[in-house]
Amino acid sequence: MKVKVLASAEDSMRLLLEEVEPAYANALRRVLVSDVPKMAIEDVEFHLGPIRADDGKEYESVGPLFDEMIAHRLGLVPIPTDLALYNHREDCPTCHGEGCPNCTIIYSVNKRGPGVVTSADLEPIGDAKLRPKDSKIPIVKLGDGQAMLIYATAVLGSGKDHAKWQSTHGVGYRYYPILKAGSKTLDALDPSVPFCESHMQSTSTEEEETLSAKAVLLASLDILAKRFSELATQATALA
């Protein structure tokens, strides 16, 4: 399979796949959607009871949404992911699942109402670079006297377990067109030929602001190569 990058940006990519059956393009699409891991919030610990502010005012740890709904909304916030650094927590060689900076990010939220808690209120404990890049995602609106004090833990996961760990969206492929005008055949990639987006055999990917398009593509190719070599080993063992 030959892969040519037709267009590449930080959060999207368009590829031309040559000498390949649609099954391989689909295998790549499936790995991109469900197997490339990323970080997302998995556990949220809520403070219960009254919270006294520095000025003496007392707040109650309540809000208009159930804790489960708040935890779900926090789970969907895109968390910055460095695939070279993070391990799956259960196979982390440093901590063996206990939780450490190589497999876990802990955020705190300490907000008093009235006001809207947003993704900007997620304060990473440790490196400030781990702050969510999109700061405008609303989580919950607190009324006067209401407050939210939580600790949220993000871990690595993949899209096949939950959509919050999906590192790409809008991935698709199409056949490459044969363009004919009378007896003349035109090359679809010739810049002088008008471009028709709906007739390219290409895989286009769009990433959230947590991983670059290139990082996701490279990770997906690694996963595919590993799987094919495992399959080849198993097939050889059977022969």
Provide the binding-site residues for Zn ion, judged by CB under 5 A.
92, 94-95, 100, 102-103
Nearer Cβ to Zn ion (102/153): 102
Q: Which residues contact 20 (CB under 8 A, 6 or more apart)?
A: 1, 2
Nearer Cβ to Zn ion (95/137): 95
> Minimum distance from CB of 76 to Zn ion (Å)?
24
> Minimum distance from CB of 122 to Zn ion (Å)?
20
Residue type, 40: A
- Beta strands (DSSP E) in the chain are 2-8, 12-18, 38-46, 50-52, 58-60, 104-112, 115-118, 123-124, 138-142, 147-157, 168-172, 179-181, 184-186, 202-207
Q: Are 167 and 216 in contact (CB under 8 A)?
A: yes
> Minimum distance from CB of 6 to Zn ion (Å)?
39
Nearer Cβ to Zn ion (86/173): 86
Residue type, 137: I
> Minimum distance from CB of 86 to Zn ion (Å)?
9
Nearer Cβ to Zn ion (26/94): 94
Q: Name the residue number minimizing CB distance to Zn ion.
A: 92
